[in-house]
């Protein structure tokens, strides 16, 4: 016997993408070769909390980055190094925090968005991990 009941219509309010994107998702940073989690402390993995693609923070940062890239292109100033710098700045803007305790050059790696941008510029392999998660809505919706 075939089910002839009509499927319920989808209620978009049941998918609060913006709410989850604003709260952010944690990205466990793994070693680029061994793929083992990087430790912030002996007790805790180094995790970076990042805003998602439906958040106001992400959309604003994306708009500013796109504007800078387009302005350079219109001025005939295409520059790969500047594009990479814009990517690091974008990721810095959408970074909400990270696990305390990690060190850089023996000094505590204190969180700020400026420090995050510098971190991503220095460690593109970590930036790649954050970038992949930040653009993936599933990471924010628990699907």
In the chain, where the domains are located: 24-134
Return the closest-CA partner of residue 130 out of 4, 30, 63.
30
Average confidence (pLDDT) over 112-139: 96
Backbone angles phi, psi at 48, to 5 degrees: -115, 125
In this prediction the pTM is 0.84
User: What pLDDT score was predicted for residue 75?
Assistant: 78
How many CA atoms does the CB half-sphere of 117 hold within 13 Å?
15
Non-local (6+) Cβ contacts of 89 within 8 A are 65, 117
Query: Which tens digit of pLDDT belongs to each residue from 23-80?
Result: 999 999 999 999 999 999 999 999 999 999 999 999 999 999 888 888 887 877 776 7
Residue written as tokens 């700020």? 112
Split at pLDDT 50, 70, 90, the class of 143 is low
Instruction: Supply the DSSP symbol for 5.
Output: P
């Amino acid at each position: 016997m075939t089910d002839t009941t009509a499927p319920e219509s989808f209620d978009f309010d049941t998918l609060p993408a913006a709410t989850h994107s604003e709260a952010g998702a944690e990205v466990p940073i793994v070693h680029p070769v061994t793929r083992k989690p990087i430790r912030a402390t002996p007790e805790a993995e180094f995790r970076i909390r990042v805003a998602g693609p439906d958040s106001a923070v992400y959309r604003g940062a994306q708009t500013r980055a796109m504007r800078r890239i387009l302005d350079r292109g219109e001025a005939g100033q295409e520059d790969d190094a500047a594009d990479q710098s814009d990517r690091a700045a974008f990721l810095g803007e959408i970074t909400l925090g990270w696990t305390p305790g990690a060190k850089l050059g023996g000094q505590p790696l204190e969180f700020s968005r400026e420090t995050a941008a510098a971190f991503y510029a220095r460690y593109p392999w970590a930036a790649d991990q954050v970038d992949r998660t930040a653009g993936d809505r599933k990471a924010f919706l628990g699907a």
